[in-house]
Amino acid sequence: EAVRRKLHNELVDLRGNIRVYCRVRPHPSPSTRIAPDGGSIALQADGKDHTFAYDRVFGPDSSQESVFSAVSELVQSALDGFHVCIFSYGQTGAGKTHTMQGGESPNARGIIPRAVEKILSQARKLEEQAEWSYSMEASFIEIYNNQLRDLLGGGPGGAATYINDLHAIKHDPDGGHTVVAGVSKVPVTDAECAAQLVRRAAAARAVEATAMNSQSSRSHSVFMLYISGWHAGTATRLQGCLCLVDLAGSERLDRSLAEGQAKKEACAINQSLSALGDVFSSLSSKSSHVPYRNTKLTYLLQPCLGGSGKTLMFVNINPEPASAGESLCSLRFAAKVSGCETG
């Protein structure tokens, strides 16, 4: 098992600790073209073609199963004791939440339920065959206007509860689990238990209509699965964490017609997305200083973004011609991320 973990990690490292996949949602007259090799996409905007290459491009016909199969080896890394983060990024209405959470039917399930199911299944096999013992806990955190909210906190009417401690996020210097003081950690014993947590969190999440989407997510949501493994025979302890992040929509204010509170939310969203871009820029340029502390989002995810952490970003694209400007911004951001290496 130790040899398998070592070889698996070497394989993941060879393929890149930071990867970018693109997923295009269906549209009858798309402004995008996907190359036959499945590794590049061309977008028609401003009267010309813009071409971008990524690790993988999923077309509108791609199934939830095929998308998950492309990320499953990173999910395995979390079970092997690494910090892993999978982002879903893009403009409002591009299909981010569909990619991460999906629908109720078995075929429509997204990355979160499939990842939990895979980890639980693999952990059971190791417990039966290799004398490992595993325990798992989950937190579901919302970052709203750069404030932390506990989506499983069970506030009045099931609402999310604010975390007021300015120093709530505490990283383990020895590579163990990151702790967020005041945030609920709920034991996860089976896939249905995790599905219930996702439903609870979805009901509590800040969602509001904008001109671009009637169910526009006004916050980032971070599902954190803490994995602890222990093998008594070799006195080996593994502490992995899988962070699955549904980022808020990266819309432009002029198109979303946001006003008042919604405008403040949009500014906070765009500021945190910009800070995330700054972190990736610093990693890409091998800068001695990486500005993780600039926002709660980047600081929370620091163990996944740097060092031996593994990161995958899905850039989700709505190929309608009217959204070509937003799509171009999303693809450029993803191209910036694609040039990064860690380790």
Question: pLDDT value at position 340?
Answer: 56
The pLDDT confidence band at residue 212, using thresholds 50, 70 and 90, is: very low
99, 33, 53: which is closest to 324 by C-alpha? 33
For residues 225 and 270, the model is more confident at 225
Residues 178-183, mean pLDDT to the nearest whole number: 91
User: What's the token pair of residue 100?
Assistant: 């991460």
Question: pLDDT value at position 210?
Answer: 43
Q: How many Å apart are CA 339 and CA 43, to the nearest integer?
A: 20
For residues 30 and 263, the model is more confident at 30
**Using an 8 Å Cβ cutoff, are 21 and 13 in contact?**
no
**Using an 8 Å Cβ cutoff, are 54 and 212 in contact?**
no
Q: How many Å apart are CA 315 and CA 246, to the nearest integer?
A: 11
Highest mean pLDDT among 9-23, 152-166, 184-198, 309-323: 309-323
Per DSSP, helices labelled H in 80-161 are 96-100, 111-129
Using DSSP, state whether 294 is helix, strand or coil: helix
Site of tokens 């932390």: 148
- Tell me: pLDDT of 209 over 80: no
- The lowest-confidence range among 3-17, 220-234, 289-303, 321-335 is 3-17
User: What's the token pair of residue 102?
Assistant: 């999906």
- Tell me: pLDDT of 29 over 80: yes
Kindly state the DSSP code that residue 331 receives in the 8-state scheme. H
Distinct helix (H) and strand (E) counts, the chain: 10, 17
Give the model confidence (pLDDT) of 271-298 as tens digits.
888 899 899 888 888 888 999 999 999 9
**Using an 8 Å Cβ cutoff, are 140 and 224 in contact?**
yes
Q: How many Å apart are CA 59 and CA 75, to the nearest integer?
A: 22
Q: What is the mean pLDDT of the chain?
A: 85
Give the model confidence (pLDDT) of 49-74 as tens digits.
999 999 999 999 999 999 999 999 99
Give the model confidence (pLDDT) of 214-254 as tens digits.
444 678 889 999 999 999 889 999 999 999 988 887 655 55
> 95: phi > 0 → left, psi -120 to 50 → alpha, else beta; which?
left
| Main-chain phi, psi angles of 192, to 5 degrees | -65, -35
| Main-chain phi, psi angles of 339, to 5 degrees | -90, 10
Give the model confidence (pLDDT) of 31-47 as tens digits.
999 999 899 999 998 88
pTM of the shown model: 0.88
Question: pLDDT value at position 153?
Answer: 82
Q: How many Å apart are CA 218 and CA 263, to the nearest integer?
A: 10
For residues 316 and 264, the model is more confident at 316
Question: pLDDT value at position 214?
Answer: 41
- Tell me: pLDDT of 258 over 70: no
Residues 191-199, mean pLDDT to the nearest whole number: 84
Q: How many Å apart are CA 39 and CA 17, to the nearest integer?
A: 18
- Tell me: pLDDT of 145 over 50: yes
